Amino acid sequence: MKSNGHPVMAARLEVERGDGDALLLKVEGDLTNTTVPELWRQSEAMIIGGTSSSVAVDASGVGRIDGAGMAWLLKVGCRATCSGGRLEVRGLAPAYEKLLERYDLSHYRTVKMIPPKSLPLPEQVGRVTAHLWQDLQTHIGFVGEMTESLIRAVLNPRSIRWRDLLLAAERTGADAVPIVALICALVGLVLAFQSAMAMRPYGAEIYVANLVTIAMLRELGPLMTAIILAGRSGAAFAAEIGTMKVNDEVAALTTMGLRPVPFLAVPRMLGMVLTIPFLAMVGNVAGILGGAVMFLTLDYPMAAYFKQVLLAAEPRHLISGLIKSVFFGITIAGVGCMRGLETERGPSAVGLSATRAVVTAILLTVILDAIFGTVFYFIGF
Amino acid sequence: MDAPNPIVIEVDRLSAGYGETVILENLTFDVKRGEVFVILGTSGCGKTTLLRNMIGLEQPLGGRVLIGGGDVVEAEGEDRRQLLRRFGVMFQNGALFGSLSLLENVRLPLEEFTELGPEAIDLIARMKLQLVGLHGAEERLPSELSGGMQKRGAIARAMALDPEILFLDEPSAGLDPVTSAGLDELILELSGSLGVTFVVVTHELPSIFAIASRVIMLERERRGILAEGTPAGLRDAPPDDKVRQFFRREANP
Residues in chain A: 381
DSSP codes joined into one string, A134-194: HHHHHHHHHHHHHHHHHHHHHH-GGGS-HHHHHHHHHHHTGGGHHHHHHHHHHHHHHHHHH
CB contact under 8 A, A4 and B141: no
Collapsed DSSP state (helix, strand, coil) of residue A62: strand
Q: Report which of A33, A124, A43, A121 is spatially closest to residue A76, judged by C-alpha positions.
A: A43
CB contact under 8 A, B116 and A68: yes
Measured from the Cβ of residue A167, the count of other Cβ atoms closer than 10 Å reads: 14
Strands of A86-90's sheet, edge to edge?
A: A12-17, A23-31, A54-65, A86-90
| B122 interfacial to chain A (CB closer than 8 Å) | yes
Chain B residues near residue A92 by CB distance under 8 angstroms: none
| A144 interfacial to chain B (CB closer than 8 Å) | no
Measured from the Cβ of residue B66, the count of other Cβ atoms closer than 10 Å reads: 19
Print pLDDT tens along chain A (381 aa): 444 445 667 777 777 776 666 777 788 888 888 888 888 888 777 665 555 667 778 888 888 888 888 888 887 777 666 666 667 788 888 878 877 877 777 667 655 555 667 888 999 999 999 999 998 998 899 999 999 999 999 999 888 889 999 999 999 999 999 999 999 999 999 999 999 999 989 988 889 999 999 999 999 999 999 999 999 999 999 999 999 998 889 988 888 888 899 999 999 999 999 999 999 999 999 999 999 998 888 888 889 999 999 999 999 999 999 999 999 999 999 999 999 999 987 768 899 999 999 999 999 999 999 999 999 999 988
- Decide: A77 and A105 in contact? Cβ < 8 Å: yes
Q: Report which of B134, A356, A217, A251 is spatially closest to residue A225, judged by C-alpha positions.
A: A217
pLDDT of residue A53: 62
| A106 interfacial to chain B (CB closer than 8 Å) | no
CB contact under 8 A, A348 and B82: no
Q: A59 CA to chain B: closest CA distance, Å?
A: 17
Measured CA to CA, the distance from residue B29 to residue B12 in angstroms comes to: 7
Q: Which residue in the set B110, B126, B131 is minimally distant from A102, CB to CB?
A: B131
pLDDT of residue B2: 44
| B128 interfacial to chain A (CB closer than 8 Å) | yes
State phi, psi for A238 to the nearest 5 degrees: -60, -40
